[in-house]
Amino acid sequence: MKRKKVLYIGNALTHKNVTVTTIETLSTSLREEGYDVIVVSCIKNKIGRFLDMISAVRKHRKHIDIVLIDTYSTTNYWYAVYVAKLCRLYKIPYIPILHGGNLPERIRRSVSSARKLFQNAYINIAPSHYLMEAFQKEGYTNIRHIPNTIDLSKYPFKERERYTPKLLWVRSFATIYNPMMALQVLQELQKTYPEATLTMIGPKKDESFDRCSAFAKAHNLPVTFTGKLSKEAWISLAASHDIFINTTNFDNTPVSIIEAMALGLPVVSTNVGGIPFLIKDTQNGLLCPPENIGTFVEKLILLIDNTDIAREISVQARESVQNFDWRLVKISWNEVLS
């Protein structure tokens, strides 16, 4: 059967020093499955990117079968609203892919636009059970769970003999991801483990990077800021670290956490958004409340002081991310797109 022609609308900004997002990974995987996928937009300027998205729908409206729309909760939410409106005008079926960790608040705050966007969709795809449940509570029924995906074969599992205070943080430097907390955690951890270090991987997104850099310098903290790295580079670097930390205040189901779990890095994370749907505390990771530095450090010390616990969490984490492998996830996407 001939595969459909897909227009995928989102922020394809990897070459602009921005972290790889779903639009680039999923579009590549769909092409490998035989779909004809057009990706828009790679324009960094927000207004220019919005106009490029609208133009793409108009340009390709007679040749595409369906439109995928990456849908977030902040400014980019309005990209989805207007792209979907144009799709309805041209009678093109569209599928919002829900990413914003704060989307539950958005659909409660912007009721009218949300109803038009999501109720008129062919189907809404929720990568996390967290968002799926939130939308169902608001009365949406045209929704399906398809998780974010990774190719597990590219993530070698490393079993460690011991777990040292070598911390790894991977995210864009944005205020909502609370990178400053990672530095504060390191500072507190050094009181017990003076040899503790932190590597922070990710591009600058707002002024939070400058604040973090200044804080690390002012307190003489052993922090390495790598900037954005390729997937292969950070996977390689992860092998020289022992614990992955995630300090975000808002989140959905971060691929970086899934990747860390696949690599055998035990994860300590704040318990916000969709993360408790991914990590079960003390089973395949450790969770603590946001902004709670003391509890976060206690969780780190638990791993460092108890190799058997850390190793068991690591093994369970790898096992729990098996269902994110593309070989399984593609079955659901083929069902939706067929």
Contact 260, 234 (CB under 8 A): no
pLDDT of residue 338: 87
The mean per-residue pLDDT over the stretch 223-243 comes to 96
pLDDT value at residue 253: 87
**Coil, helix or strand at residue 96:** strand
Tell me, what's the pLDDT at 137?
96
Q: What percent of the chain has pLDDT over 90?
A: 89
Dump the DSSP string for 52-85. HHHHHHHHHTTT-SEEEEEE-SSTTHHHHHHHHH
Does residue 267 surpass a pLDDT of 70? yes
- Considering the chain, tell me which residue range(s) the CATH 3.40.50.2000 domain(s) occupy: 5-150+325-337, 152-320
Residue 224 has a pLDDT of 98
Tens digit of each residue's pLDDT (9 = 90 or more) over 155-171? 999 999 999 999 999 99
Half-sphere exposure of 31 (CA within 13 A, CB side): 11
Q: Which residue has the higher pLDDT, 14 or 320?
A: 320
Interval 91-116: pLDDT, tens: 999 999 999 888 999 999 999 999 99
Enter the tokens of residue 196.
């503790």
307, containing H or E segment:
helix 307-320
* Pair 87, 59: CB distance under 8 Å: no
Quick check: 287 pLDDT over 90? yes
Residue of 162, 171, 267, 167 whose CA lies nearest to 224: 167
Q: What's the confidence (pLDDT) of residue 247?
A: 98
Nearest to 182 by CA among 302, 291, 310: 291
Instruction: Round the CA-based radius of gyration of the chain to a whole number and report it.
Output: 20
Q: How far apart are CA 9 and CA 31, in angstroms?
A: 15
- Mean pLDDT for the stretch of residues 190-212: 97
- CATH classification number, 152-320, choose in 3.90.850.10, 3.40.50.150, 3.90.79.10, 3.40.50.2000: 3.40.50.2000
The closest of 148, 102, 104, 107 to 125, measured between CA atoms, is: 148
CA 30/CA 330 separation, integer angstroms: 8
Q: Across residues 194-211, what is the average pLDDT?
A: 96
Query: Across the chain, what does the average pLDDT equal?
Result: 95
Give residues with Cβ within 8 angstroms of 51, minimum separation 6: none
Let me know if domain 5-150+325-337 sits in CATH 3.40.50.2000. Answer: yes
Q: Would you say the C-alpha torsion 168, 171, 173, 174 has a positive or negative sign?
A: negative
pLDDT of residue 200 exceeding 70, the answer is yes
| Residue 115: per-residue pLDDT | 97
> What is the structure's pLDDT at 285?
98
Rounded to 10°, the helix 293-305/307-320 angle is: 100
pLDDT, tens only, 10-50: 998 865 455 567 898 999 999 999 999 999 999 989 999 99
What's the pTM value of the predicted model, to 2 decimals? 0.89
Cβ atoms of residues 208 and 175 within 8 Å:
yes
